[in-house]
Structure 1
């Protein structure tokens, strides 16, 4: 596995196009280097090309899942870099028998059958790794505790590094980001510790449960004591929408409302129709509605869109067509979904 991390400031936005123009000219050289181990000239070239896209992206060549080799350019868990990696991946060539391309490290559970070296003579037989895990049925995520007998010989930093690396190998970067909640590690075996493949099976069952996105209805109160009703997509994890880095909040006032401030039938029908027709059409393939909240005579719809597309402007224009009052539109860069994180 050959990998690197770019270090200097981001280059021209056209660097993604430049990268994919350059790649066919060195592909054969990379294949030769994988066989010979001679990376002296290729590693610096690769780092320069990736750092021109963004200085904090990580890259690696590794064994492919379906193809012989894989090229990965990853955000390494940084939410604000996922859109950059996604745009790199969108321009990748079609995979073939030799190469496939990924924007996150893929699962490779075969590594967990090996022994890895951690320096200073420390070796960990990964077949001894165990995970204890549990899921709160109200939450679409699994909390994990890692254990290995060798953790007693390691400092806390190395224990954490091994835990995160092995979870990535077991589930892939995106699998960890989407389905794993809290992550901890112990030097004594926790109750319920199991083979890593049991954790992988639990994650696959959770993935199957949420194969179709689910909307959850939440209830709360305003500071003034009135009711708030929230509808939100679950699981609400940024990795599910890597391109959609900009929050567009559209607040629509409505006239027909109950004493509690919620919409009566006529206004409720108008809100639903406006969302389904004007706003959904405006967002198109470059945006998604992730939540809406209703209280005190107004509904706020929380869209997330690709900043490199016209979706934010199109949504703002469409909001102006609302006839039941003056719509308000706000937009913010928010790749971590922090502005609706309270709905998780």
Structure 2
């Protein structure tokens, strides 16, 4: 694994060393010149980083053009794409760089041909409903009556990407359905954009929720988790580190009482936070039966996981336990999402 990561990093460095030499030709090609071998050259360089990364040139949001190298929704590849972006040059008036397809509302005024049918995208409508920290959607187009389920789904997800960008879809969209008959409450696509923007604004400042469970014949569980708890928010952090700390001062329910609660908070905010050095994030924690488990995600290409384990060993109220594993999909905290 170390060798693999080293090779990927070498390929990323080589990509950015090569990019200035081809950039003028790319600019000329976008303006109407010949593309020649450029697409094959870009593909070769991107796939040297990872064979399953996708790429495209598109209109920029601030710059004139954008280069996108994307994981394509594959959680396994997000960290690799994020490391590619971390070494990108600063955006300038001509080019910007992204790890996911950006919103492009102008596309929704076009007509596309797919599945042997022409679809005027201006006829798309969405019914949607908020569910916690996500928005569930139903996509409708009159042309869906002539198309099979697979193509309806393809159009739906393409339209969502154009409306919200890939990252916006993965972060804020929950259940997705598509319908040949117009659903109740169907609205203009830009109304969906406004609803997602409002949800994003609510979460501009970090937001955590507290949860409590009382399992039968088991200790009370008190948990807190960041919202929305989705791996796409922390694309570089692909490794789970669970730090379990026993505590001595506890309530009758087995939860930390005042003295231990203060000690836990100081330890989390002090030695453990310092060990991360920006290469990880605490996303949730659970307390039950005299133990608190802190759920961290870190960049597996750094020493953050080992540094956390070393810092945890200094806990004073008992012997700490540390679990580490590759988990780019955040499966370890799925029960708290």
Instruction: Tell me the TM-score normalized by structure 2.
Output: 0.96
After TM superposition, give the deviation of residue 223 of structure 1 in Å.
6.1
Aligned to 2:144: 151
**3-state SS of the aligned residue for 2:236?**
coil
Is 1:266 paired with 2:239?
Answer: no
* Among 242, 251, 263, the residue aligned to 2:235: 242
**2:172 paired residue among 175, 179, 184:** 179
Q: SS of the counterpart of 2:185?
A: coil
Q: How does 1:1-344 map to 2 (within 5 A)?
A: 12-36=8-32, 38-118=34-114, 120=116, 122-136=117-131, 139-222=132-215, 224-344=217-337
Deviation >4 Å, runs of 4+: none
- Secondary structure at the aligned position of 1:339 is classed as helix
- Say if 1:86 and 1:242, in contact at 8 Å, map to a contact too: yes
> Residue 247 of structure 1 contacts residue 331 of structure 1 at CA under 8 Å; is this kept in 2?
yes
Contact 1:11 1:51 in 2 (8 A): no
Task: For residue 286 of structure 1, report the CA deviation from its aligned partner.
Answer: 0.7
For residue 14 of structure 1, give the secondary structure of its aligned residue in structure 2: helix
Aligned residues: 332
Q: Secondary structure at the match of 1:275?
A: helix
**CA positional deviation for 1:11:** 5.5
- C-alpha displacement at 1:225, in angstroms? 2.3
Q: For 1:72 and 1:21, how far apart are their aligned partners in 2?
A: 17
Q: Please say if residues 208 and 225 of structure 2, whose CA atoms lie closer than 8 Å, have aligned partners that are also in contact.
A: yes
Structure 1 residues 204-232: Cα deviation after superposition (integer angstroms, max 9, x where no partner): 00001111121111011356322000011
Note the C-alpha offset of 1:37: 5.5
Q: Does structure 2 retain, via aligned residues, the 8 Å contact 1:256–1:263?
A: yes
| Deviation, structure 1 residue 305 | 0.6
Q: Distance in 2 between matches of 1:91 and 1:85?
A: 10
* 1:116 Cα offset (Å): 1.1
Q: Aligned equivalents of 1:277 and 1:222: distance in 2?
A: 32
SS of the aligned residue for 2:242 comes to strand
Per-residue Cα deviation, 1:116-167 (whole angstroms, up to 9, x for no partner): 12153x211011000000013xx10000000000111111111000000010
Q: Distance in 1 between matches of 2:236 and 2:42?
A: 24
Deviation, 1:178, is 0.5
Q: Match of 1:3?
A: none
| Aligned-residue offset at 1:200 | 0.2
Aligned equivalents of 2:102, 2:185: Cα separation in 1: 27
* Greater Cα offset, 259-268 or 290-299: 259-268
Structure 1 distance, partners of 2:106, 2:216, is 53
How far residue 110 of structure 1 moved from its aligned partner, in angstroms, is 0.7
State TM-score, norm by structure 1. Answer: 0.94
Q: Is the 8 A contact 1:218 1:231 kept in 2?
A: yes
